[in-house]
Amino acid sequence: MSILARKVAAGLDTAMDRTVAPGFTRIGMGVRSRLPGWPADPPPGALAGRVAAVTGATSGLGLATVEELARLGATVRLVVRDVPKGERVRAEILQRVPGADLRVDRCDVADLDDVRRFVAEADGLDDLDLLVHNAGAMPATRTESAQGHELTMALHLLGPLLMTELLRPALKGSVDGARVVFVTSGGMYGQRLRADDPEYVRGEYSGTTAYARSKRAQVELMPVLAERWGTDGISVHATHPGWADTPGVVDSLPTFHRVLGPLLRDARGGADTTVWLAAVRPAPPGGLLWHDRRDRPTHLLSRTRTGDAERREMWEWARDQAGLTG
């Protein structure tokens, strides 16, 4: 492949990313997957012998992630709030992926006490190779977790931080290095980090803004988490799915879904980079934001850029609220 062809492909990819709409839709992935330099799909059996845990696994991106990981041979734990629904989803996946090794575990990721219970009681999680933080919510009104934290920040940041920290011994034992993936959102591009108001107690509450703020916090803390967990051979990544057609989008953003429905990716397309990050060997560099199998900038607007002091303040707040030490 010529250098010119690669440059043209990279330029087109970047242009779609910076203009947002083309790159985030199904068109973006359709074009990129045909460009020179598109990374190869993981080979069959790429995750044979590996154990993965996926939160929010009963619908949308989580369900698609579980199914694709199972197709690649992984043993997958479905970490869900609703166990009967989780068992139904497990049965559905087994019809499409006969012989898949799947198990359902109960955990409300927003409830820090329940996260502690889940890790303490979970059987067979002594060895873990992959942890996907996919559970998400976008409440219309300000809602608090069991510990009194604003729900989106508890569910998208505090719960995942605590769960990963408690599972570090299991992840540390991964043969070729464990991976942690935060499924974030392109919506975070419109928000700056709010270390001054992490619980969203100031101003008029907006569910979409709260969601985007919590996702911005995930992305901003990637370098900190990569350094913290990297000492145990654990690589941490964030990936955003673009605009995907999921039940969460239908329920929380009905107008957006009605207008852009034909251009939205299906759940499998939205989960593609999460699965690729889980299976590609060797592991990609940690601490980065990924979309369509390529690391992406964390800011598209100058007004959202974060300074080191603000990032440090956010990390110290999250660390303390999640009860992490060190």
Q: What is the pLDDT of residue 271?
A: 97
For the whole model, what pTM was predicted?
Answer: 0.95
Residue 15 is assigned to a structural domain of this protein: no
Residue 132 is assigned to a structural domain of this protein: yes
Domain of residue 144 covers 42-322
- The share of the chain scoring above pLDDT 90, in percent, equals 81
Q: What is the pLDDT of residue 149?
A: 98
Residue 140 is assigned to a structural domain of this protein: yes
pLDDT at 2 over 80: no
The DSSP output letter for 262 is G
Residue 265 is assigned to a structural domain of this protein: yes
The DSSP output letter for 125 is -
How far is the C-alpha of 140 from the C-alpha of 53, rounded, in Å?
Answer: 28
Catalytic (active site) residue 189: no
Q: Binning pLDDT at 50, 70 and 90, where does residue 12 land?
A: confident
181: nearest Cα among 132, 140, 143: 132
How far is the C-alpha of 255 from the C-alpha of 249, rounded, in Å?
Answer: 9
Residue 26 is assigned to a structural domain of this protein: no
Contacts of 173-177 with C-beta under 8 Å, sequence gap 24+, read 173/126, 173/127, 173/128, 174/50, 174/127, 174/128, 174/129, 174/233, 174/234, 175/129, 176/281, 176/283, 177/233, 177/234, 177/235, 177/283
Q: What is the pLDDT of residue 1?
A: 56
CATH number of the domain encompassing residue 154: 3.40.50.720
Q: How many domains in the chain?
A: 1
| Residues whose CB is less than 8 angstroms from the CB of residue 169 and which lie 6 or more positions away in sequence, other chains included | none
73: nearest Cα among 41, 51, 105: 51
Per residue in 167-218, pLDDT (tens digit) is 999 999 888 899 999 999 999 999 999 999 999 999 999 999 999 999 999 9
- Round the average pLDDT of the chain to a whole number and report it: 94
Residue 27 is assigned to a structural domain of this protein: no
Residue 59 is assigned to a structural domain of this protein: yes
